[in-house]
């Protein structure tokens, strides 16, 4: 007589087992993700808005990252206007692309602009932001949003001394966008020069290239004919 | 085995890093700052304890030929839970750890404990074993990052310890230093300390 096999010995059992536990665990994860996703999005928006406020020196002399989420959102809504630029190129008319930028306003007067910038670093994408005066000619602030450079070397692009050396530097000179020259860390820079990070020439160079290329693209989209 | 023995065996006697040489990739990757090491350690303890518990719960129903697939699924789910939790409730920490949280999935200690312990023992014992193995791992991370942070940055948990006379050793911040720090640690424990213990044991 043939021995009766239990269901757990059948070849379908492992398949059913895997399907069942996959459904259970994915279900748990999906529920958890959905109940927390609004918090994650709200936090990312708050980080972005606080960065924009910092670029515009609001609140004056204070760090917006020390304000609460509500305070940041309130200030942002009252002082900043979000707009977009058409950065589509003539080479491919089917490709339509818009990029956000930020305007600091006081009533009907525009007091400055802030643009998100993207470039390639040594290990990955660098995302940054720059704010400029209303005539677009002078840099007000420069901030790094995300980067994956080597900690302790290229990662030092997030240090204040590196970012702050762009403050009050002219980015438009003789009708063209300035490409900053890199000089050694300990030298004194001129108006179109910046101190590079020792041991991180590639990361410093990536910032300089990103500033030039991306700013040129933004000003073109705003109808300025810089070179 | 009582609960205390399970914990001590998992954390020290059979320490995953210095006895079994598992979990090396993450030991090398996150140990240049003590804060990163601590949070990574806590994440691993959580994932180890709960994945061990769950794997032990389903061990009687798990077909032998697909057990590794099932274990990976359970482990990955808990890692994603940690990742989502950090993003939603401790966003600053999540930002500091970056991609390391996701890398807990690839930590061989977790798969190792699932196979070696959770697949054969009761859920509660497995839970204790997970906490023990995780604690042993965290200890190693903190030891290595202590030396690397103080020599590489002159700080401990981010606060300045060394004076302005101190020159940071850049090599201690980069990956190579993790290799020789780990090697020195394994040598000290399996060489002089083990020899000393064996001698004391004979007496």
Q: What is the pLDDT of residues B142-197, one digit of tens each?
A: 999 999 988 888 888 878 888 788 888 878 877 788 888 888 988 888 887 777 87
Query: Phi/psi of residue A83, each to 5°?
Result: -135, 175
CA-based nearest residue in chain A for residue B65 = A14
Judge whether B88 is closer than 8 Å to chain A, CB to CB.
Answer: yes
- The structure tokens 């303890």 sit at B45
Asked if A17 and B63 come within 8 Å (Cβ–Cβ), the reply is yes
Asked if B87 and A36 come within 8 Å (Cβ–Cβ), the reply is yes
Asked if B66 and A18 come within 8 Å (Cβ–Cβ), the reply is yes
A11: left (phi over 0), alpha (psi -120 to 50) or beta: alpha
What is the distance between the alpha carbons of residues A198 and A219, in angstroms, rounded to a whole number? Answer: 31
Within 8 A of B69 by CB-CB distance, chain A residues are 18
Q: How many CB pairs under 8 A join A and B?
A: 62
DSSP class of A96: -
What is the H or E stretch that residue B80 is in? helix B67-89
Give ipTM to 2 decimals. 0.76
B47/chain A closest Cα distance in angstroms: 14
What is the distance between the alpha carbons of residues B54 and B47, in angstroms, rounded to a whole number? Answer: 10
**Number of CB atoms found within 10 A of residue A59's CB:** 16
Tell me the β-bridge partners of A102: A82, A114
What is the distance between the alpha carbons of residues B155 and B192, in angstroms, rounded to a whole number? Answer: 29
Judge whether B185 is closer than 8 Å to chain A, CB to CB.
Answer: no
Judge whether B176 is closer than 8 Å to chain A, CB to CB.
Answer: no
Considering only CB atoms, B88 lies closest to which of A8, A36, A152, namely A36
Instruction: Give the rounded distance of the alpha carbon of A104 from its chain centre.
Output: 18
What is the distance between the alpha carbons of residues A129 and A145, in angstroms, rounded to a whole number? Answer: 7
B4/chain A closest Cα distance in angstroms: 31
Within 8 A of A14 by CB-CB distance, chain B residues are 63, 65-66
What is the distance between the alpha carbons of residues B79 and B58, in angstroms, rounded to a whole number? Answer: 19
Q: What is the DSSP string of B122-179?
A: -HHHHHHHHHHHHHHHHHHHHHHHHHHHHHHTSEETTEE-S-TTPPP-HHHHSHHHHH
What 3-state DSSP class applies to B182? helix
Residue A207: the pLDDT is 93
pLDDT in tens, B63-112: 888 888 999 999 999 999 989 998 898 887 787 776 778 878 888 888 88
Closest CA to A99 of A111, A112, A110, A114: A114
A94/chain B closest Cα distance in angstroms: 36
- The structure tokens 């590639």 sit at A202
Check pLDDT > 70 for residue B126: yes
Query: Phi/psi of residue B160, each to 5°?
Result: -65, 130
**Mean pLDDT confidence for B133-141:** 91
What is the distance between the alpha carbons of residues A104 and A82, in angstroms, rounded to a whole number? Answer: 9
**CB B97 within 8 Å of CB B36:** yes
The list of chain A residues with pLDDT below 50 reads: none
**CB B129 within 8 Å of CB B115:** no
Tell me the β-bridge partners of A194: A182
CA-based nearest residue in chain B for residue A27 = B77
**Number of CB atoms found within 10 A of residue B67's CB:** 18
Considering only CB atoms, B84 lies closest to which of A21, A33, A151, namely A33
Burial A90-107 (b: 16+ CB within 10 A, else e): eeeeeeeeebebbbbeee
Judge whether B174 is closer than 8 Å to chain A, CB to CB.
Answer: yes
Judge whether B130 is closer than 8 Å to chain A, CB to CB.
Answer: no
A209/chain B closest Cα distance in angstroms: 25
Residue A5: the pLDDT is 67
CA-based nearest residue in chain B for residue A148 = B98
Within 8 A of A36 by CB-CB distance, chain B residues are 84-85, 87-89
Q: Quick one: tokens of B75?
A: 């482990």
Distances, alpha carbon B18 to alpha carbons A192, B6, B124, in Å = 53, 17, 25
- The structure tokens 């057990």 sit at B67
Q: Quick one: tokens of B50?
A: 């709960």
Tell me which of A23, A151, A185, A197 to substitute to probe the interface with B (most B C-beta atoms closer than 10 Å): A151
Within 8 A of B58 by CB-CB distance, chain A residues are 21
Q: Quick one: tokens of B110?
A: 């977790």
Burial B71-86 (b: 16+ CB within 10 A, else e): bebbbbbbbbbbbbbb
**CB B113 within 8 Å of CB B130:** yes
Tell me the β-bridge partners of A99: A85
Distances, alpha carbon A98 to alpha carbons A50, A84, A91, A94, A199, in Å = 22, 6, 16, 13, 36
Considering only CB atoms, A29 lies closest to which of B62, B77, B152, namely B77
Residue A198: the pLDDT is 86
- The structure tokens 């490709």 sit at A95
B114/chain A closest Cα distance in angstroms: 17
CA-based nearest residue in chain A for residue B60 = A8
Residue A3: the pLDDT is 60
Alpha-helix residue ranges (DSSP H) falling in A63-178 = 69-79, 160-164
Judge whether B142 is closer than 8 Å to chain A, CB to CB.
Answer: no
Q: Quick one: tokens of B14?
A: 């059979």
């Amino acid at each position: 007589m043939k021995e009766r096999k239990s269901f757990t010995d059948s070849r379908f059992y492992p398949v059913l087992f895997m399907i069942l536990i996959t459904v259970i665990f994915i279900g748990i994860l999906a529920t958890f993700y959905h109940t927390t996703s609004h918090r994650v999005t709200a936090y990312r928006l708050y980080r972005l808005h606080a960065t924009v406020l910092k670029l515009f020196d609001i609140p004056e002399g204070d760090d917006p990252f020390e304000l609460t989420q509500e305070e940041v959102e309130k200030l942002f809504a009252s002082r900043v206007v979000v707009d977009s630029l058409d950065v589509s190129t003539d080479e491919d008319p089917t490709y339509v692309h818009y990029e956000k930028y930020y305007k600091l306003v006081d009533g009907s007067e525009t007091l400055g602009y802030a643009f998100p910038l993207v470039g390639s670093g040594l290990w990955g994408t660098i995302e940054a932001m720059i704010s400029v005066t209303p005539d677009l000619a002078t840099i007000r602030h420069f901030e790094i949003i995300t980067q994956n450079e080597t900690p302790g070397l290229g990662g030092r692009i997030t240090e204040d001394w590196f970012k702050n050396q762009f403050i009050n530097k002219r980015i438009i000179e003789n009708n063209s966008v300035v490409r900053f020259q890199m000089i050694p860390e300990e030298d004194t820079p001129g108006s179109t020069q910046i101190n590079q990070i020792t041991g991180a020439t590639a990361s410093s160079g990536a910032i300089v290239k990103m500033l030039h290329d991306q700013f040129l693209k933004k000003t073109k989209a705003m109808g300025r004919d810089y070179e | 085995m009582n609960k205390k023995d399970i914990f001590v065996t998992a954390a020290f006697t059979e320490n995953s890093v210095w006895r079994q040489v598992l979990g090396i990739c993450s030991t090398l990757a996150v140990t240049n700052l003590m804060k990163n090491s601590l949070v990574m350690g806590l994440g691993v303890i959580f994932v180890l304890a709960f994945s061990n518990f769950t794997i032990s719960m389903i061990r009687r129903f798990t077909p032998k030929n697909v057990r590794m697939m099932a274990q990976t699924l359970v482990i990955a789910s808990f890692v994603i839970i940690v990742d989502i939790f950090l993003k939603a409730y401790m966003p600053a920490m999540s930002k500091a750890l970056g991609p390391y949280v996701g890398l807990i999935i690839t930590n061989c200690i977790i798969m190792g404990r699932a196979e070696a312990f959770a697949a054969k023992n009761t859920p509660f014992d497995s839970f204790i074993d997970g906490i023990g193995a995780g604690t042993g791992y965290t200890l190693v991370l903190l030891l290595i990052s202590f030396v690397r942070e103080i020599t590489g940055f002159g700080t401990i948990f981010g606060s300045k310890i060394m004076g302005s006379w101190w020159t940071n050793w850049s090599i201690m911040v980069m990956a190579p230093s993790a290799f020789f720090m780990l090697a020195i640690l394994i040598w000290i424990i399996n060489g002089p300390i083990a020899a000393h213990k064996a001698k004391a044991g004979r007496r």
